[in-house]
A and B are shown apart, each in its own frame.
Chain A
Amino acid sequence: MAENVYDAIVVGSGISGGWAAKELTQKGLKTIMLERGRNIEHVKDYTNANKHPWEFPHAGGRTQEMIKNYPVLRRDYVLNERNLDYWVNEKESPYVEVKRFDWYRGYHVGGRSLMWGRQSYRLSDLDFEANAKDGIAVDWPIRYDEMAPWYSYVEKFAGISGSKENIPHLPDGEFMPPMELNCVEKDVAARIKQHYNNNRHMIIGRAANLTQPHHDRSNCQYRNKCWLGCPFGAYFSTQSATLPAAMATGNLTLRPFSIVTKVIYDKDTKKAKGVEVLDAETNQTYEYFAKVIFLNASALNTTWVLMNSATDVWPEGLGSSSGELGHNLMDHHFKVGASGMVEGYEDKYYYGRRPNGIYIPRYRNIGEDKRDYIRGFGYQGSAGREGWSREIAEMNIGGEFKDALTEPGSWTMGINGFGETLPYHENKVTLDKNKKDKWGLPVLAIDAEIKENERKMRKDMMNDAKEMLEIAGVKNVNTYDADYGLGQGIHEMGTARMGRDPKTSVLNAHNQVWDATNVYVTDGAAMTSAGCQNPSLTYMALTARAVDHAVNEMKRQNI
């Protein structure tokens, strides 16, 4: 094998890139995985994972210097001193906000698989048929039947804990035993179920946290420090799961500090030959060649690579012939909900820090329910007892005050909605060639916003939260609609959507770029609509399915 020649190239090492590498190498393909950032080695490089609260000089908070250096990250909780190293250096890698767009990135081996929320839900035909039924955007080229076996396949390997609920539009999966609801959550769930005649459900979150040992990984130890990297390998990440599996085949080469600047396109064969890489440390340029290329650089960066590629054929980049490349950007809108106090249960508490909460699956615009908007939302939340930071009205300072704070306070319960964002053609990213990053590369300009459908939905998200909590007996319920910025859900989706027609979509039903069929896109960019479920499990399933397709196509010599 000549130098720089492989069977397959994977661009990006996050959730979907890790899966692509695992599947390709296990099917015998010599594969190189290119990651733009540094390496983070499993366990060894989780530098803060075993620190105690008092070992962080600012109690885990943020300094003025951090606030200055991270003008985007500071907009949410994600800016904190505990895992600062896992977030992109914003000065080195700027982007342009035509409208506010919060883009929280992780540029390192593992990508955001290290910091993700781990909630793992299947989409259903309620989602896959939605665009066609509503007559918006384009139809998904796939249906649940085709995805179900791939969901099962990835769940079995990743390890998803959850409960079987027989909810048609939130299909059950191959679950490890569920985590437990606490006593207040159990009672609230029972009251919601009863009041809504079993049409609304509150269930334990389905999480990529192991509740049993799995392969070489330990079960969850209930530290709730997942976002620091888990020394037990108890949640799914590239490092804990797909990377070791890919490495074990002997077929994987991992190359960090490798910024893929373009896909090299061959006009004669109408296929991609390889990719061009800029070494982030040396600024040297390299070429890597392969029969098949998987783009898994995260939704917006995958589109950035496509926009930089084959511009001599298509000025707007590889995959732009439909005019849809860069368009239909989506996120999940959230930060709206309610919370309140729960009376009683003073003789109940909990042990362990559960890295998971409750989930209320979508119930709006299903069956007979019709709203003044389309699609719907789910809720995530939890119940717990207040800690030392609570106000104690009648106490000021001193020994009694201190001793009162050393005991847990009242129970509270809160739920936060996660709503579907529609794929609007005008919500888009483009290349801004006037602004350059540290490596002299053009940056993305992001021009997107939520619209009337989302705003109407948010009213329901707030009012329904209050109604359900009150029905469940929660007192003093307060609602909120906090400062949500598009992108803050960290679920960037779309910009290279799948579809049935090369004239209106970038990818076909197997995630192949219509304009170069040996290039597959299986990260969030591929999404045709957003659903309201956390999307990563779908990327895993799409990736495994696409690799299977690619390997079969190679055998048939179609690519």
Chain B
Amino acid sequence: MNRREAITAVAWLMGGTLISAEMLVSCTTKSKDVSDLFKPEQISFLNEVGDTILPTTNTPGAKAANVGEFMAVMVRDCYTPEDQKIFLEGFDKLNKASDEKFDKEFMQLNPKQRTDLLTALDAEQKEHQRTKGPEDPNHYFRMMKELTLLGYFSSEVGATQALRYDPVPGRYDGCMPYKKGDRAWAT
């Protein structure tokens, strides 16, 4: 395969103009059925948590990358049963923290309240991380935050819009000028 053929193959595989983004999303949803472990409303919940951690700025937020579903797939397939339990208990814990702070569940909060709540939870998980023993499990919110970052920046939205992605750079420049504001390379 020469370079042009390979680039064509790349374009075809990534969809190029042949497959719309919408079709890709629907295909993905079908192949990643996580209903055995997560209810649809929990996926929505995780998308809102993700979108509070990484909201829309001048680039799309984490919900646009459907990080809720990514988190569910990762927890189902990659987490140990112990970590799954902590993650799943996190839904109630997060709502309880929300209730204590605002007298409402997380989904009922406005964006400002959500940010305040999750900022406090992030401080809590950082404190937990500092004081826990090496074998102790992570805080549920650390899990949610880590998965949000991983899911978003490895997603098509995150890699191509929040970051810069070039599937076939074709050359290497070891000393390229950079100015503040230029986006980082994906992968």
Q: CB within 8 Å of B: which residues of A?
A: 43, 50-55, 57-65, 179-183, 185-186, 218, 220-224, 231-233, 346-354, 385, 387-389, 396-399, 401-403, 405-409
Contacts and interface: CB of A to CB of B under 8 A. Distances in A.
A51 B154 CA distance: 12
A397 B118 contact: yes
Contacts of A389: 149-150
B187 A406 contact: no
Contact of A65 (B57, B77, B177): B77
The 8 A-B pairs at the shortest CB distance, nearest first, are namely A182-B174, A352-B169, A352-B172, A349-B178, A396-B122, A180-B174, A183-B175, A351-B173
Given A406-B59, A407-B182, A350 B176 contact: yes
Contacts of A223: 167-169
Contact of B3 (A57, A232, A346, A397): A232
Given A50-B10, A179-B172, A407-B184, 7 more contacts: A59-B151, A65-B77, A352-B171, A396-B123, A398-B119, A402-B162, A405-B149
A55 to B, nearest CB: 8
Nearest to B183: A406
A52 B167 contact: yes
Contacts of A397: 52-54, 115, 118-119, 122, 145
Interface string B42-81: 0000000000111111110100000000100110011110
Contact of B14 (A52, A57, A61, A222): A52
A61 B154 CA distance: 12
A84 to B, nearest CB: 13
A244 to B, nearest CB: 13
A58 B78 contact: yes
Contact of B177 (A181, A348, A398): A348
27 contacts: A52-B165, A53-B154, A54-B154, A54-B159, A59-B70, A60-B154, A64-B77, A180-B173, A180-B174, A218-B2, A221-B3, A222-B170, A222-B172, A223-B168, A224-B187, A232-B1, A348-B176, A350-B175, A351-B176, A396-B122, A397-B119, A399-B57, A402-B53, A405-B149, A406-B163, A406-B183, A406-B184
A223 B168 CA distance: 6
Given A221-B168, A388-B153, A398-B119, A183 B73 contact: no
A219 to B, nearest CB: 9
Nearest to A353: B169
Contact of B178 (A54, A186, A348, A403): A348
A58 B74 contact: yes
Nearest to A63: B77
B55 A50 contact: no
B167 A61 contact: no
Contacts of A405: 149, 153, 162, 184
B96 to A, nearest CB: 19
B73 A58 contact: yes
B130 interface: no
A64 to B, nearest CB: 6
A224 B150 CA distance: 20
Given A53-B159, A65-B77, A354 B52 contact: no
B150 A59 contact: yes
B173 A350 contact: yes
Contacts of B154: 53-54, 59-60
Nearest to B61: A402
A349 B6 CA distance: 27
B172 A349 contact: no
A232 B150 CA distance: 29
B182 A398 contact: no
B12 to A, nearest CB: 9
Q: Which of B70, B123, B176 lies at the interface centre, i.e. has the most chain A CB atoms within 10 A of its CB?
A: B176
Q: Which of B119, B154, B159, B174 has the most CB of A within 10 A?
A: B174
A351 B170 CA distance: 10
A43 B174 contact: no
Contacts of A60: 154
A57 B165 CA distance: 18
B146 to A, nearest CB: 9
Nearest to A388: B153
A232 B7 CA distance: 10
A58 B77 contact: yes
A186 B173 CA distance: 13
B9 interface: yes
B95 to A, nearest CB: 18
A182 B173 CA distance: 8
A225 to B, nearest CB: 9
A457 to B, nearest CB: 28
Nearest to B10: A50
B155 interface: yes
A315 to B, nearest CB: 47
B134 interface: no
**Most chain-B Cβ atoms within 10 A of its Cβ — which of A51, A347, A406, A408?**
A406
B109 to A, nearest CB: 14
A59 B75 CA distance: 13
Contacts of A61: 74, 78
Nearest to B70: A59
B167 to A, nearest CB: 7
B178 A408 contact: yes
A55 B27 CA distance: 11
B18 interface: no
Contacts of B57: 399, 402-403
A50 B175 contact: no
B174 A185 contact: yes
Given A218-B3, A232-B1, A182 B55 contact: no
A57 B119 CA distance: 29
A347 B178 contact: yes
A504 B50 CA distance: 65
B174 A181 contact: yes
B6 A232 contact: yes
A220 B171 CA distance: 8
Nearest to A218: B3
B94 interface: no
B187 to A, nearest CB: 5
A348 B175 CA distance: 6
Nearest to B163: A406
A183 B150 CA distance: 28
Contacts of B166: 351-352
B115 to A, nearest CB: 6
Nearest to A408: B184
A54 to B, nearest CB: 5
B76 to A, nearest CB: 9
B181 interface: yes
A185 B174 CA distance: 9
